[in-house]
Structure 1
Amino acid sequence: MKNTSGTTEQKRRAGESAADLVADGMVVGLGTGSTAAHAIAALGQAVDSGLDIRGIPTSFQSRQLALEHGIPLTTLDAVDAVDIAIDGADQVAGFTLVKGGGAAHAREKIVDAAADRFVVVADPSKLADELDYPVPVEVLPDARPTVADSITDLGGDPTLRAAERKDGPVVTDNGNLVFDCDFGAVTDPATLASDLSALPGVVEHGLFVDLADEVHVGLDDGVERRTR
């Protein structure tokens, strides 16, 4: 369900802009998705040129990309702090996000929330005045029917995400299932986030409310940087 209408050049500019914030000795959260991949590639080039960093991947995909680009990896329990996290989004309204198009939002939220500085990288197609993108919700397999009923009660329309190249549903890196939940326009993201988090069986949802510190938007001729 990812919105991929942004150009490769826009995504590259955003990713490289965020990567430029990383300094020697930092621990870096490595996000998931096509725009975050450009940041990982840029960091790999910097490491090859002598930059000393350690990365914490947020998914199998970002881990593989980091290894391919020669970025040394670590884990949350092996560091005292995460200096910066660089991650993409499926939709951005102000500093509130919908994430989870890659079904990695649980790990992403853990790493992004732990970071001293969370930088979102995006292209203009991800920007919105109000969130209306379906909210991914990761659920324990046994809780699928009860969570679906509860999401419906909250006003959402949950659809079990189907795998594209295998029969059956998408299974996350954590071994769980994902509902994509259409709530229409989300006028109160904080309340909806709290309601979803309170549902038994929900592992994590894709509403990232007031976690982002900066948004770097890649344009055709530069980068727009939004800070709090």
Structure 2
Amino acid sequence: MNFSKLTKLIVLVACTVGLLVPSLVSAQDKEKKRIEESGVVLSDFGKMKESIPSSLLKVTEGIIIVPKLLNAGFVVGGKRGRGIAMVKREDGSWSNPIFVTITGGSFGLQIGVQSVELVLVFKHSSSITNIKKSSFTLGGDLSIAAGPVGRNSTANTDYKLDAEVYSYSRSKGIFAGVSVNGASLDIDTAANLRYYGKGMGPTEIFASQGDPDDAVTKIKSYLVPLK
């Protein structure tokens, strides 16, 4: 290969890399934004007077935050959202997040569109780590109940007995007959690859040390009271 052809090849490779790098950064920014939005949801929930009871938080080993769960329907409806999942490690620290999706359908009296901020509180971290094996159905594979409210409330809860998952949500828009029962949880493999830059599975991500960026550091700080 002569010098002229080699120069052209180098220029072509440089241009290709130059085009790819911004797109990769853009993709990573989307996932970082999802983490940041999840942090905002947790922060806002923490400011609510009628929040998650401390008695439930003490036994929490996992959490899923979906900043925007969209519901739409006219008799037959559907829901779709992207969020993050984190588990509490044995030493009480919180893992790095994995990206997940929640998808479902419904039938019944419903009409309209709604955007919901959703937080799912898990009593056992294994319920989240086992999602890697297949999609999980809320209300099917995992028992789910509307979460009790009130920071210091312990009355009228069954968190010591029955449900594995408790849901908390704030709604925007107009909708009737909303439920996450029957919705499936899946690993967002593509998002994990874009954000972490390599094909790590949920187990590897949960075990990884160090915060990928300040958005992860911040969301972990919101979870400190859950220790």
TM-score between both structures, scaled by the size of structure 1: 0.24
Structure number having the greater strand percentage? 2
* Structure with larger Rg: 2
